[in-house]
Amino acid sequence: MVTAQKGLATSTLSSVANRVLVDYKDALQDYKVTSMPVLEMFAERFTTETGGDVDISFSKPSMKLEALEEGATPAYQHTDLRNERISVKEWGIAVGVTRRMLEDSRFSEMELALNEARRAVERHVTEHAIKALFGIGDATYGTGISDTSISATNTEAEVTTFANNPHGGFFGELDTNGSGGLDTDADVRLSEYGIYTKDDLANLGVGSTGSHYMVCTDGDTDAVGDLALGDITQAMELIGAKGLNADTIMISPMHYKTLLNLADFTVPFSGAAGTAGIVQKGGVDYVNDVSASGVVGQLYGLNVVMNSYIPKNRFGVFDMSIKPMAYVERRGLTVEEANPGFGITGSYMSMRYGLKVIRPEAGVIVIGD
């Protein structure tokens, strides 16, 4: 760590800050935003050569193997593509360190400031991704429908209209994908992986055909009943109707204590009781071994992931092997020198990306009051 000493000349202070900046820029060459746990968990990465509204294409599950007689040639198949339009924006932060801070601090203020700026980037991307995934209204990110949270009663058109909801949603039956009519296929947003058709879904008792938003059984996700077996298995059934297998439930921290009271919830643990990180279940102390991805245990065979940006009035069930969200990157995180003014050394940190739910068949959002 570089230490700035009192009495150093301005040029020396500047060179100290610049050296830290150069070292930090070199370190960022190996840093990838897509390595963040929240994106690794549920987002597929795409790259683009343009900004603004970007059209992406990706494969639908369309190819099948066939039995062959000796010497026979299989029929040729082509990739069935689905298209989505994603809004790519630039996000950034400016960091400034004054001459006095460099003179008086025992630490490298520039290095500390840059580290905090990088953590701010990680918080920003995590919050943006969670709010886009759960349809939570936020004017900063433009998530939800016209900055209002998506509910179980929103119509297909409301959820998929790009102008009002550029982040997509867990809904898909109409001839739209929010991209201005790139597709005319009536099943453009929901792919059929299994044996069920969209007409069969109406018989599952899960609400409107094509909707992957459910109202909680007791209508109140603040209560113990919000994580009842019926709600979770119904969500699993809706995902299973598409031939997928739910493997993850995402909850808010408000639900964690409730989980500890459920007999079917298992806590990952390591070490011995009497140390930090103790949780109690059934009168027994465990050392909670929370992974970087936020996995806090298992419930009904599903990994339980806790995230502080999920509101207490909803949770989600997903098949994370089929990434429900797209992360479109125009430019990864970069840092460059800035010149804010006399007596200040600064830098800019910025990135260009977009997020959108592109596979609504892979998740269900359960909503309370």
Domain assignment present for residue 189? The answer is: yes
Domain span at residue 124?
Answer: 10-60+81-367
Domain assignment present for residue 173? The answer is: yes
Domain assignment present for residue 297? The answer is: yes
Domain assignment present for residue 340? The answer is: yes
CATH assignment of the domain containing 95: 3.90.1690
Bridging pattern class, strands 325-341 and 43-47: parallel
Domain assignment present for residue 67? The answer is: no
Domain assignment present for residue 5? The answer is: no
Domain assignment present for residue 275? The answer is: yes
Instruction: List CB contacts of 75: < 8 A, sequence separation 6 or more.
Output: 66
CA–CA gap between residue 190 and residue 208 (Å, rounded): 14
Half-sphere exposure of 172 (CA within 13 A, CB side): 27
> How high is the pLDDT of residue 216?
80
Residues of the chain predicted below pLDDT 50: 1-10, 174-187, 193-208, 219, 221-225, 271-289
> How high is the pLDDT of residue 269?
59
> How high is the pLDDT of residue 83?
84
Number of domains the chain contains? 1
Measured at the alpha carbon of residue 233, what is the angle toward residues 206 and 286, in degrees to the nearest 5? 145
> How high is the pLDDT of residue 104?
73
Domain assignment present for residue 52? The answer is: yes
> How high is the pLDDT of residue 76?
92
CA–CA gap between residue 74 and residue 295 (Å, rounded): 44
